[in-house]
Amino acid sequence: MTLALLCLFLGAYWNLTRIGEGGDDLSNPDQIRTRPPFSINRPRVFSAAEVIVDDDETVIGITVGARHRAYILHAFYGNPMVHVVNDVIGQDAVSISVCDRTGCCQVFDEPNQKDPLKLAFGGWRDGQMMLRTPDGLYYIESLDAVRAEDKPFRFSALQFEKTTWKKWKEAHPDTDIYVKPERKSVSVEF
């Protein structure tokens, strides 16, 4: 409840302070640099046996080494604070990014990295979501840099499967699952 109120307040404040600049779809990417980098870091996950999830629920399934993890798609919808999840599976850092406006989904990894990737929601521009790293801003669909001085996007794409929970669980009975964000895992800094 507290997280929902905080998210509502931050979203309303952001839009109210940016009305003269076109709301949250800013045409000047320099203005976005001042926005905190929202992401979920090291989310709580559950074994398939610990949760009750509708069989028809859409999930993003990934495999890292011999480990399988599903992320409920609608957990990324709504507030921008939940559009990016930075996770660590075994010894590999992975990030899942979902744009709920366009439906675009990207998954990235960095093997042998015990800390989460520094990837976050970066705002909206030209009708699509941007991702933010310490190196710059990038369009989620193309991963092109928003500004000329931004460095090339450095994380590798990781193959993923968008499917139903039932199909994923049947194919990977030893999977675990990310269900929803929790307040303690929300990060507003790199």
Element (H, E) at 139: strand 136-139
Per-residue model confidence (pLDDT) at position 38:
84
Q: pLDDT category, 82, cuts 50, 70, 90?
A: very high
DSSP 98-120: E-TTT--EEEEEETT--S----E
Burial 36-46 (b: 16+ CB within 10 A, else e): ebbbbbebebe
DSSP code of 31? Answer: G
pTM across the whole model: 0.81
Neighbour tally for 190: CB within 10 Å: 15
Residue 123 pLDDT greater than 80, yes or no? yes
For the chain, domain boundaries: 2-187
